Amino acid sequence: MVNTNIILAGVGGQGLVMTTKIIAEAAYLSGLDVKTNDVVGLSQRGGKVWGSVRLGEKVFSPNVRPGEVDILLGFEALEGRRFRKELKKDSSVAIVNKYQMVPTLVQQGKEEYATDIEEELNKYAGKLIYEDFTQKAVELGNKAAANIVLLGACSVYVKDIPEEKWVESIVKSVPPKFVELNKEAFALGRKLAK
Amino acid sequence: MSKKEILSGNQSIARGFYEAGGGVATAYPGSPTVEVIETMKEYHEDIYSEFSMNEKVALEVGIGACYGGLRTMVTMKHVGVNICMDPLMSFTQSPVDAGFMLVTGDDPGMASSQNEQDNRILGKFANMPIFDPSDSQDAKDFVIKGLELSEEYKTPVMLRITSRICHARSTVELGEREEHMGPKFEPDPSKYCMLPPHTFKHQYTMKERIEKLQERANDLEINKLEEKGSDVLVITSGICYYNFKEVCPDVDVFKLGMVYPLPIDKIKKLSEKYSKIIVIEEMMPFIENELKLHGIDCVGKEFFSFTGELHSEVIEEGLVKLGVIKERQLKDTSKDDTTARGPLFCAGCPHRPVFDILKKAKVNVIGDIGCYTMGLLYPWEVLNANISMGSSLGIIKGMRLAMDKQGDDQKPIVGVIGDGTFFHSGLPGFANLKYQLTGEENITMIVLDNATTAMTGGQPTGESYHMDNMGQDMSVEDIIRTMGYDDIQRVDQFNYKEAKKAIVDATKRKGVSVIITTRPCALRYKIKETPFEVDPSICIGCKTCIKTNCPPLRMKKYEGFDKEKSSIDPNQCVGCGICAQVCPVGAIKRKKESK
Ligand code: SF4
Ligand code: SF4
C-alpha cells in the first residue's frame, strides 16, 4: 500500500492544526500508520500556515516530498494556489476555499490578489473542488466550521478511512457543544465533493 | 492491547515525564517547546508545573526541586538556554540524586527564532549527555531513559529536540505512571555548594561520568544499528533519520538516540567494515567533529547544508553527490510566484495604534522580543534594532549616549517592551537605565502591557492576574515607580487621539518618560465586539485606515462608484474602532443591525 499524502495550507487562526489532528486520529482509528507535521510559530499571526499528513501502512517522515501531494486542502484561496506545484500530476485532488484573506502586500496596494487561482489549480490538480467553504459554514451557523466542511470534502478522497471513523474522530476532537454543527458541516462537505 | 495515542513531540515529552514519575516541571514559554508545559497541566495532580518569569529562574526552581529529591524537567527554546547558562554551568558539576532533564527546542531553519544556534554545543560545554529523538515515540522513550541514566550516572541530562519533532504527530504507546521519589535533601556542601575547594573534585566527577557514559553508549539500546548489507554506513539522529529513510531505505544506518557522548568504540569497529562513514545532521557538524576528534574518518557537512532543515530532497542531493544514490528522483518544485504572506498584528491588536502613532511620529524606535517585534515588518518598519529578550533598555541607553555625542541630542528615541519581556529581563535594564543617567537625556520607554506573553500563545506574566482574576497581581507601574521613575503615564491606546498626544509629548521631554499602554491582547482574551463597516458614499478612498494594516481592511470596488473604496470583512473584524478613529471623514461606523 502506498502512502496518502495530504497538505493543508491556510492562514493562522483558520483551524489548520485542529484539522490535521482530526485526520490523524481518523487514520489511526482505521488502523493506519500516520505522521503529521504543522508549521507554526511566527506565522500564527495571520501569516501562512501549513501542515502535512501522511498515512498508510508504514510512514517514515512526516514531510511530504515535493511533487507527491495526493490531496491539497486550501483553507484560503491564495494559500491553495501557493502549493499547487506540489501536487501529483493527474491523480491528485485540490479542495480549495474560494474565501479570500488579503496578505499585507495586497492590502497595501503593492501587489494584486491573484485572479488566476482556479485556472492555475486546474493546471496542476487531477480534480479541483473550488467553493466558498467559509460562506457555506456561515450559512450553517458558524464560520469557524469551514475547516470541517473542507474536511468532509477531503474524506471522500481518502479511500482507506471509512466514513464512520471520520465522524468518530470529529466527535473526539471538538468541544461537545459543537459536535452537531460539525457533523452537519462534515456531511455538507461530503456532499459538495461528490 | 496496549493503549496508543497520536501525540505531538511536545505532548510526548510531557507524557514521558508523567510516566517517569516526574515531580516538578518549569519553563519559560518559547517556540517550539511551549506545548510541553501546557500539556503538563493535564497532569496537575501529579506534577507541579509553572511558566517562570525567565529561563534562569525556571532552571533555579528546577535545581531546588532536583536537590530536594524530585525528578525534574526544565524546558525552553534554544536561546533560552543562554539565559540560564550561568546557573547551568555550575549546576552540572553537582552529582544529582534525582533525575534532571533540560529540554531545549532547537530551530533549524529559524521558523520562529532569531538565530539558529545548535545547543548540542552547549550541552557538551556543560558536560551533559544529550538525547536527540526522531519522532514522538522516541521523545517519550528518551525522557524516561534519560531520567534513568541521569540518576544512574548522577548527571543532569539534556533532551535536544527540533521544531519539526516538537510539532510533528505520530502514534505513541502509553504506559502507566510509576511514582518516583528520590532521597530527601541532606545538607552536603561538597555536593551542593559550588565553590572551591568542592569544585576541584567535580571537574574529575564530570569527566569520569562522561567517560562512563561513552562506554555505556556502545550497548545503549537507543543507539540502533540497522544492517541492510551496504558498503557505506550512515550515522544520523533526530528527524534526519526518517528523512533519510524516505529516500534511501536500503543503506545501513546507525541511528543515534544519545548524540553525546558517542559510542566511539563501536563506531571505530564499524568503520573498519565500511568503505565510508557518512554523517547526516542538521546545523553544525557536531557528530562529525566528535568522530574526527577520535580519529574516525567520515564525511558530512561538505555534502549537506550547514543551515536549515535537511529535508528528504536535501539529503537526496547530498547522497547523489556521494554516489550512494545514482540519480535524483525528487522533483524540483521551483520557487513559487504566489504573493508572499507574512505575519501581522491580529485584528483588534492593541499594538496596532501604538505602531501607527510611532510610524507617523518618525522617531527612532528600539524593539524587543514579542508580538511587537512584527513592528519591523512592512508596512510598519519602525523598529531599528532588535536583538534579544529585554535588550531594548540597554540598547536604548547606549544609543542615546552615542546620539548625544553625535550632536543628535534633540532627536527623540523610543523603546518598546511587552509585559512578558518586562518581567523576563526588562527589570534589570530598567534599574540600570535609572541609575546610570544624568536625567537630562531624552528617552521614552513604552511598556506594551497586553497582560500576556502573546507571541507564544498567551501564557501568563506578572500582569496577567488582574485579567484572569486569580493569583497575586503585580503592577508594572508600581514596580517602575518604586525604582524611582516619576514620569509615568497609563494610556488607553484605543482612545487614539489621547494616546497619540501622550506619546508624542513624551518623546519631546527630557529624562526617561515611561508610557504604559493598557489594552489586553485581542487573541488571548478573545475580544470580539460588533464589527465596523465602511459607508462607501462617505469614503474618499484616501487609504488612511488601510495603513493601519488591520487584516479585515481592503480596498474594493463598490457598485455605482468608479473609485475603489475601503471595506471591512465582518468575519474578521473584532470591533476595536481604530480604523474609524483614523478616518478623516468619518466613513467607518459600528454596524447597526447586530446587537
Ligand atoms: S474596527 Fe477596524 S481596526 Fe478594529 S478590528 Fe475592525 S477593521 Fe480592524
Ligand atoms: S480612511 Fe476613511 S476615507 Fe480614507 S479610505 Fe479609509 S474609510 Fe475611506
Q: Provide the sign of the torsion angle of the four alpha carbons A176, A178, A183, A184, taken in this order.
A: positive
Q: Report the C-alpha gap between B384 and B472 in whole angstroms.
A: 36
**What does the buried/exposed string (b/e) look like for B2-27 if buried means 16 or more CB atoms within 10 Å of the residue's CB?**
eeeebbbbbbbbbbbbbbbbbbbbbb
Edge-to-edge, what's the strand order for the sheet holding B232-236?
B224-226, B252-255, B232-236, B276-280
Strand, coil or helix: B143: helix
Contacts of residue B353, Cβ cutoff 8 Å, sequence gap at least 6: B493, B494, B496, B499, B548, B578
Task: For residue B429, give the C-alpha cell.
Answer: 535594564
Q: Looking at chain A, which residue has its C-alpha nearest residue B32?
A: A41
Nearest Cα to Cα of residue A158 among A99, A95, A79:
A95
Q: Looking at chain A, which residue has its C-alpha nearest residue B238?
A: A61
Q: Report the C-alpha gap between B505 and B326 in whole angstroms.
A: 69
Under an 8 A CB cutoff, do A81 and B338 touch?
yes
Question: φ and ψ at A32, to 5 degrees?
Answer: -100, 160
Q: Is A172 on the interface with B (CB under 8 A)?
A: no
Closest C-alpha to ligand 1, atom 2? B579
Question: What angle is formed at CA B357 by the lines to CA B352 and CA B358, rounded to 5 degrees?
Answer: 100
Q: Report the C-alpha gap between B137 and B139 in whole angstroms.
A: 5
pLDDT at residue B330 in the model = 80
Q: Looking at chain B, which residue has its C-alpha nearest residue A88?
A: B331
Under an 8 A CB cutoff, do A101 and B572 touch?
yes
Strand, coil or helix: B424: helix
Ligand positioned closest to the Cα atom of B546: 2
Q: Report the C-alpha gap between B128 and B260 in whole angstroms.
A: 8
What are the C-alpha distances in Å from A155 to residues A53, A149, A170, B57, B506? 13, 10, 12, 48, 58
pLDDT at residue B473 in the model = 76
Of A63, A79, A103, the CB nearest to B243: A63
Closest C-alpha to ligand 2, atom 2? B583
Q: Report the C-alpha gap between A74 and A79 in whole angstroms.
A: 6
Q: Are strands B488-491 and B413-418 parallel, antiparallel or unpaired?
A: unpaired
Instruction: Inform me whether the pLDDT recorded for A42 exceeds 70.
Output: no
pLDDT at residue B595 in the model = 44
- Alpha helix segments (H runs only) across B419-458: 419-421, 427-436
Mutate to test the pocket of ligand 1, among B535, B553, B571 (most ligand atoms within 8 A of CB): B553
Strand, coil or helix: B16: helix
Instruction: Inform me whether the pLDDT recorded for A74 exceeds 70.
Output: yes
Q: Report the C-alpha gap between B298 and B319 in whole angstroms.
A: 14
- CA distance, residue A58 to nearest chain B CA (Å): 11
ipTM: 0.93
Q: Using N-to-C axis directions, what is the helix angle for A146-155 and A163-173, rounded to 10°? A: 160
Q: Is B588 in the pocket of ligand 2 (CB under 6 A)?
A: yes
Q: Is A174 on the interface with B (CB under 8 A)?
A: no
Q: Which residues of A touch B380 (CB under 8 A)?
A: none
pLDDT at residue B471 in the model = 64
- pLDDT single digits (tens) B309-333: 999 999 999 999 999 999 888 877 6
Q: Report the C-alpha gap between A75 and B475 in whole angstroms.
A: 41
**DSSP for residue B345:** P
Under an 8 A CB cutoff, do A67 and B331 touch?
yes
Residue B478 CB neighbour total at 10 angstroms? 11
Fill in the amino acid letter for A176.
P
- CA distance, residue B546 to nearest chain A CA (Å): 7
Q: Report the C-alpha gap between B299 and B292 in whole angstroms.
A: 9
Kindly state the average pLDDT of the residues A62-82: 95
Sort A4 into a burial class: Cβ within 10 Å, 0-12 / 13-18 / 19+. Answer: buried
Q: Which residues of A touch B457 (CB under 8 A)?
A: 44
Are the beta carbons of B567 and B546 closer than 8 angstroms?
Answer: no
pLDDT at residue B444 in the model = 98
Q: Is A1 on the interface with B (CB under 8 A)?
A: no
pLDDT at residue B458 in the model = 87
**Cα of B345 to ligand 2 centre, how many Å?**
20
Q: Looking at chain B, which residue has its C-alpha nearest residue A89?
A: B331
Length of chain A counted residue by residue: 194
Q: Scan for cell 547530498, then name that residue.
A: B318
List, as ranges, residues 23-82 from A with C-beta within 8 Å of B. 24-25, 28, 33-48, 59-63, 65-67, 78-79, 81-82
pTM, entire model: 0.94
Task: For residue B299, give the C-alpha cell.
Answer: 564525511
pLDDT at residue B273 in the model = 96
pLDDT at residue A40 in the model = 66
pLDDT at residue B439 in the model = 86
Task: For residue B126, give the C-alpha cell.
Answer: 556543560
**Cα of B378 to ligand 2 centre, how many Å?**
20
Q: Is B580 in the pocket of ligand 2 (CB under 6 A)?
A: no
Q: Is B542 in the pocket of ligand 2 (CB under 6 A)?
A: yes
Of A42, A65, A106, the CB nearest to B343: A42
Q: Report the C-alpha gap between B20 and B148 in whole angstroms.
A: 9
Kindly give the parts of chain B with pLDDT less than 50.
595
Q: Report the C-alpha gap between B401 and B433 in whole angstroms.
A: 12
Are the beta carbons of B6 and B169 closer than 8 angstroms?
Answer: yes
Q: Report the C-alpha gap between A77 and A114 in whole angstroms.
A: 9
Are the beta carbons of A35 and B312 closer than 8 angstroms?
Answer: no
Question: What angle is formed at CA A60 by the lines to CA B168 and CA A158, rounded to 5 degrees?
Answer: 80
Q: Report the C-alpha gap between B236 and B225 in whole angstroms.
A: 11
Question: φ and ψ at B345, to 5 degrees?
Answer: -60, 140
Q: Report the C-alpha gap between A79 and B318 in whole angstroms.
A: 30
Length of chain B counted residue by residue: 595
Q: Scan for cell 488579503, then name that residue.
A: A102
In which band, very low, low, confident or very high, does the pLDDT at A43 lie, cut at 50, 70 and 90?
low
Under an 8 A CB cutoff, do A66 and B164 touch?
no
Q: Is B534 in the pocket of ligand 2 (CB under 6 A)?
A: yes
Fill in the amino acid letter for B131.
F
**DSSP for residue B539:** -
**Cα of B550 to ligand 1 centre, how many Å?**
6
Q: Are strands B24-27 and B532-534 parallel, antiparallel or unpaired?
A: unpaired
Q: Report the C-alpha gap between B16 and B177 in whole angstroms.
A: 9
Are the beta carbons of B376 and B382 closer than 8 angstroms?
Answer: yes
- pLDDT single digits (tens) B492-531: 999 999 999 999 999 999 999 999 999 999 999 999 999 9
**Cα of B372 to ligand 1 centre, how many Å?**
18
**Cα of B451 to ligand 1 centre, how many Å?**
20
pLDDT at residue B331 in the model = 74
Q: Is A136 on the interface with B (CB under 8 A)?
A: no
Task: For residue B76, give the C-alpha cell.
Answer: 525552553
- pLDDT single digits (tens) A131-142: 999 999 999 988
Task: For residue B520, give the C-alpha cell.
Answer: 489586553
List the helix and strand counts (H, then E) for chain B.
Answer: 22, 23
- pLDDT single digits (tens) B197-226: 999 999 999 999 999 999 999 999 999 999
